[in-house]
């Protein structure tokens, strides 16, 4: 078989994804090459130079498709610039002028999130969002636990204080953490900033709920005005199935806005890959979820076909997460697709042909 490079593999998925979503692939492909840098030319036969935690197989990219209630779907790339945080900041500095990024808020907090990270962890991830006919939007994810799990709450408090968002953080912590579980089963996992100045520029704070059930997530969501906890429960059940989530954790994110005493938006992320046998089951569940929220499923099938390089029943994890976004700015459902550049996780159920 021909020996593909990292960039060839990922571009070979991004290009058809753009076509399916009726977007010009030129800018997305250009940014993909920029994120990868010299790493893009590496052969996939060699182990990843930088073992990113973005995906289970250490691919530095994860695709996602955001189905929106009131506008066409968006395409997103979650990316880690190989080589560590400094390489990531260099990439952003290069993109800042070209794409009009607003980095003042990042500059205001970045010193807090720049310890040397242990292997298997991260310091800086980027998300690139493409909407048809618009300039790409950038978002960064910082790691609240860079200086250790115990220091995460004070670090986030300091960062949000600097950004004038301390009030809604305190409300959120008081009502979303299970008693005594902060830094234990409830963890502050990501601190995300939009790199633009618009009225919708957001800070998002993510909580991972380990060993939780749908009711725990619903309780944690209830702090956000306008969010119906029953909807969160129903989504966890539909995407993840019944019972406790004792594999990868349920994750909730809170959108914080200046001047509000409570968070203004909430999303719940279900790591569906730990709760299905294979990707055919994941695909069927996600199709049912999309239908339930009024989205057609044909687009899902075409997006999955653009990314997958194998029969869906032959592995698990191509569909990594599915999330429900509630409240402003953009309600909808997002489906996360793994690049599987290096590896496919075998399915849990093995089909044995009859003798
Ligand atoms: N791969 C990591 C995980 O599964 C990080 C990650 C990538 C993630 N995409 C995500 C976490 C979407 C939550 C939601 O935890």
Taking only the tens of pLDDT, the chain with its 355 residues reads: 568 999 999 999 999 999 999 999 999 999 999 999 999 999 999 999 899 999 999 999 999 999 998 899 999 999 999 988 999 999 999 999 999 999 999 999 999 998 777 656 899 999 999 999 899 999 999 999 999 999 999 999 999 999 989 888 988 999 999 999 999 999 999 999 999 887 667 899 999 999 999 999 999 999 999 999 999 999 999 999 999 999 999 999 999 987 788 899 999 999 999 999 999 999 999 999 999 999 999 999 999 999 999 999 999 999 999 999 998 778 899 999 999 999 999 999 766 666 5
Cα-to-centroid distance, 54 and ligand 1 (Å): 6
Return the residue whose CA atom lies nearest to atom 9 of ligand 1. Answer: 54
What pLDDT, on a 0 to 100 scale, did the predictor assign at position 353? 63
pLDDT value, residue 119: 59
Rounded Cα distance, 68 and 322, in Å: 14
249 Cα–ligand 1 center, Å: 10
CA of 183 to the centre of ligand 1 (A): 18
Q: Which residue's C-alpha comes closest to atom 7 of ligand 1?
A: 54
Q: What per-residue confidence (pLDDT) applies to 330?
A: 80
Distance from residue 267's CA to the centre of ligand 1 (Å): 13
In a domain, 285, yes or no: yes
- Residue owning tokens 């995906």: 55
Mutational test site, ligand 1, from 62, 66, 121, 204, max ligand atoms within 8 Å of CB: 62
Total domain count for the chain? Answer: 1
- Determine phi and psi for 17, rounding to 5 degrees: -60, -45
Task: Compute φ and ψ for 111, nearest 5 degrees.
Answer: -60, -25
In a domain, residue 355? The reply is no
Helix (H) or strand (E) segment spanning residue 17: helix 6-20
Q: Is 115 among the domain residues?
A: yes
The atom number, within ligand 1, closest to the CA of 55 reads 1
Domain that holds residue 148: 6-338
User: Would you say the pTM of this structure is higher than 0.85?
Assistant: yes
The answer to whether 341 and 59 are in contact (CB under 8 A) is: yes
Q: Which of 53, 56, 209, 275 to mutate for ligand 1's pocket (most ligand atoms within 8 Å of CB)? A: 53
Residue of 122, 205, 321, 333 best suited for mutating to test ligand 1, as the one with most atoms within 8 Å of CB: 321
Among protein residues, the one with the nearest Cα to ligand 1's atom 14 is: 269
In angstroms, how far apart are the furthest CA atoms of the chain?
68
Q: Which pLDDT score is estimated for 60?
A: 97
pLDDT at 351: 62
CB-based contacts of 58, cutoff 8 Å, min separation 6: 48, 50, 51, 52, 342
Which pLDDT does position 213 carry in this prediction?
Answer: 97
Ligand 1 — pocket residues by CB below 6 A? Answer: 53-55, 62, 78, 248, 251, 269, 271, 321, 336
> Which ligand 1 atom lies nearest to the CA of residue 54?
1
- Atom 8 in ligand 1: residue holding the nearest Cα: 54
Which atom of ligand 1 lies closest to the CA of 323?
14
pLDDT, position 343:
97
Say if 347 falls within a structural domain: no
CA separation for the pair 178, 189 (Å, rounded): 15
Q: Is 335 within 8 Å of 305 (Cβ atoms)?
A: no
């Amino acid at each position: 078989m021909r020996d593909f490079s990292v960039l060839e593999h990922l571009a070979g998925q991004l290009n058809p994804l753009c076509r399916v979503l009726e977007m010009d692939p030129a800018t997305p492909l250009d940014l993909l090459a920029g994120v990868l840098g010299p790493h893009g030319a590496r052969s996939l036969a060699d182990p990843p130079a930088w073992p990113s935690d973005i995906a289970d197989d250490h691919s530095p990219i994860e695709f996602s498709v955001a189905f929106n209630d009131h506008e066409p779907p968006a395409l997103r790339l979650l990316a880690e610039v190989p080589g560590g945080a400094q390489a990531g900041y260099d990439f952003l500095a290069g993109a800042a002028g070209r794409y009009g990024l607003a980095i003042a808020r990042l500059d205001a907090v970045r010193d807090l999130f720049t310890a040397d990270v242990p292997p298997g962890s991260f310091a800086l991830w980027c998300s690139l969002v493409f909407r048809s006919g618009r300039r790409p939007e950038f978002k960064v994810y910082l790691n609240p636990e860079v200086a250790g799990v115990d220091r995460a709450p004070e670090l986030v408090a300091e960062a949000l204080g600097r950004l004038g968002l301390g009030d809604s953080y305190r409300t959120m912590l008081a009502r979303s953490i299970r008693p005594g579980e902060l830094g234990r089963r409830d963890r502050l996992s990501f601190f995300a900033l939009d790199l633009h100045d618009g009225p919708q520029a957001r800070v998002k704070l993510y909580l991972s709920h380990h060993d939780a059930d749908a009711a725990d997530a619903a309780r944690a969501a209830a702090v956000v005005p306008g969010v119906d906890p029953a909807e969160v429960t129903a989504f966890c059940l539909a995407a993840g199935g019944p019972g406790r989530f004792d594999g990868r954790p349920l994750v909730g994110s809170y959108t914080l806005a200046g001047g509000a005493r409570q968070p203004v938006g909430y999303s719940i992320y279900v790591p569906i890959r730990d709760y299905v046998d294979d990707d055919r089951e994941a695909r069927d569940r996600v199709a049912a979820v999309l239908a339930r929220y009024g989205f057609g499923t044909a687009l899902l099938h075409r997006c999955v076909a653009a990314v997958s390089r194998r029969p869906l029943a032959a592995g698990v994890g191509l569909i990594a997460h599915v999330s429900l976004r509630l409240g402003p700015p953009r309600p909808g459902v997002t489906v996360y697709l793994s690049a599987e550049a290096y590896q496919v996780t075998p399915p849990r159920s093995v089909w044995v042909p009859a003798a």
